[in-house]
Amino acid sequence: MRVKELIATVLFGLAVVAAWEFIPPAMGIRRFIFPNFSTTMAEFSRMVSAENLWRHVLSTATMTAAGFVLGSLLGAVGGYLLGLSSFAERILSPYILGLQIAPKVAFAPLFIMWFGFTDWPKLLVTVLIVFFPILVNVLQAMKTVDRDQVNLARAYAMSRSQIFFKVEMPSTMPALMAGLRIGATLAVIGVTVGELVGGNSGLGFLITFGQGQANAAMVFNSILLLTAIGIVLYGIVSFFEARILHYIPRVER
């Protein structure tokens, strides 16, 4: 990021904080409805000391990372397997489409009935939410692999596995990384839904607890921390993407 862009970003953030601090009181909005910045930060300090905040942050971050990794792995493997077999894709595509259309968050109560108020429901919801974007991206990329390159590899007597690892998989890496970036943002949603519906720990649980206590500042802090977790995970994916796809030229604007 250039220096001017960095300065503009910081100034915009400071303007948002200033508006958050002064506009709600000036409009006569009660703090328990829409707390200003200083009230929210005071509640954050209280949550650290009285609500064991970092334990909840660690719980959410751990489940987010675990669900993202597992969902990404299953989605990528599924996409590649279906891409290698058009017969399997035609057989399974109606079922995959049905599961993709079904609202994933609706599975959370069902998982709670099966596994109780444990970490399993939020992990499974996260895996489901992350799984499908990556599966679809990889499968679509496998369909658009340059057939001339595949035929050339066959002309050089490459085996099926060599064609996959040397031609097809490299060709699909941009689509896979795009799917991973989408999955990184959706993983936080999956964990939050699981914690909202039946969690006994995590930031989603604190949102529910804050709602019950009419503590809007607690809800604000929990949302901000969830956003921070999502940004960190997205940043990690972008970091690896820049190094894996270093051979792709980037357009300067």
Q: 3-class secondary structure for 116-160?
A: CCCCHHHHHHHHHHHHHHHHHHHHHHHHCCCHHHHHHHHHCCCCH
Separate counts of helices (H) and strands (E) for the chain: 11, 0
pLDDT value for 146? 79
23 occurs within a structural domain: no
116: left (phi over 0), alpha (psi -120 to 50) or beta: left
For the chain, what is the domain count?
1
pLDDT value for 197? 83
pLDDT value for 248? 67
| Percent helix, strand and coil across the chain, each to the nearest 5 | 85, 0, 15
Torsion, Cα 107 113 119 122, to 10 degrees, reads 10
pLDDT value for 7? 87
**Residues 176, 134 contacting (CB under 8 angstroms):** yes
253 occurs within a structural domain: no
Residue ranges in the chain modelled with pLDDT below 50:
none
pLDDT value for 116? 82
DSSP, collapsed to helix, strand or coil, labels residue 29 as coil
7 occurs within a structural domain: no
- What's the CA gap between 112 and 119, in Å, rounded? 9
209 occurs within a structural domain: yes
Structural domain span for residue 216 = 40-142+172-244
**Residues 181, 231 contacting (CB under 8 angstroms):** no
16 occurs within a structural domain: no
49 occurs within a structural domain: yes
The model's pTM is: 0.88
- What's the CA gap between 234 and 188, in Å, rounded? 10
pLDDT value for 28? 84
DSSP, collapsed to helix, strand or coil, labels residue 253 as coil
28 occurs within a structural domain: no
123 occurs within a structural domain: yes
- Provide the CATH number for the domain around residue 202: 1.10.3720.10
pLDDT value for 252? 55
